[in-house]
Amino acid sequence: MIVHVLGVAAGGGYPQWNCACATCRLARDGRARPLSHASVAFSATGRAWYLMNATPDVRQQVESCSTLHPGPATRSTPIAGVLLTDAELDHTLGLLVLREGIGLTVCATTPVLEALKTAFPVRPILDRYAPFEWRTLVPGVPLSLDDDGLRVEAFRTGGRPPRYAKGQEGGDWTVGLRVQDRRTGGVAVYAPGVERWTPEVAAAVGDADCVLFDGTFWRDDEMRRSGAGTRPASAMGHLPIAGPAGSAERLARLPASHRLYVHVNNTNPVLDLTSPERRALSALGLGVADEGMALEL
């Protein structure tokens, strides 16, 4: 299996357009690399590719990855589908950008598919442009993606709906995705939104070769410390990296060859390559995914 990292940043990108926090200033001053919204592409053979989420930056992300370029026919694409981890705008707006295609397969949980039909009616809009296929992901039930041997299994990581669907709490609103190449046995886990470290999360990442994990916030009170807001990470559905209840110590104990953070918020000090927080990650054998990196499992 091949995994291409297309984007690393959380909602708003990096730097965020309306934020002048210390880490955003680093990017604007040229001391840190700007980042697009978190997404990866994966394939068993390099022929058919699947995107993890469709971000507002999807056109630029496709252009930046030559394996996703169209061809050989004038109007053709190696992108076969999109797998959604939730219904958040930064993970679904890109579906509208992909409307010019000949039709893609989109896989998501039941509440996400319903939200994209009603609260944010992407599905009826897209169905007027191309024959999209909408498939249901059921946590704990493997789903075969293609004849190349890829299989995906969702696991529940949160129950918070996006703001536009507020009032519909509960259910499988947020999931991680465990992708297995049945030919080689390689396993990759993509989990950009994790509320808590649960037995389901532990089981999903326990034997994976590659774990791309929620790195939204370094600490629970990061928004307050940075002056960007008041809500703690836990209230926004994200397990912080640091601390005894954080994800870093748990990820450090995993046998995976690649243990990398994605969906990193613009306030997170790990975006500063010289920060103590970034050095602390390195000391644990962890890192932040690089946009453009390719991993073979």
Is 55 in contact with 94 (CB distance < 8 Å)? yes
The pLDDT, as a whole number, for residue 260 is: 99
Paired with 142 in beta bridges are none
Report pTM. 0.97
The pLDDT, as a whole number, for residue 167 is: 87
* Region at 12 (left for phi over 0; alpha for psi -120 to 50; beta for the rest): left
Tokens of 63: 């252009």
Alpha carbon distance 163, 71 (integer Å)? 38
- pLDDT beneath 50: ranges in the chain: none
The pLDDT, as a whole number, for residue 152 is: 98
Name the H helices within the chain. Answer: 22-28, 58-63, 89-92, 94-97, 110-115, 122-126, 199-205, 222-226, 248-251, 276-283
The pLDDT, as a whole number, for residue 131 is: 92
Report how many domains make up the chain: 1
The pLDDT, as a whole number, for residue 101 is: 77
Task: Order the strands of the 2-7 sheet from edge to edge.
Answer: 133-136, 105-108, 79-83, 49-52, 39-43, 2-7, 294-296
Predicted confidence (pLDDT) per residue in 26-45, tens digit: 999 999 999 999 999 999 99
The pLDDT, as a whole number, for residue 103 is: 86
Backbone angles phi, psi at 237, to 5 degrees: 80, 30
Q: Residue 282 belongs to a domain with what CATH number?
A: 3.60.15.10
Predicted confidence (pLDDT) per residue in 80-120, tens digit: 999 999 999 999 999 999 998 778 999 999 999 999 999 99
- Three-class DSSP category at 264: strand
- Residue numbers of the domain that contains 10: 2-296
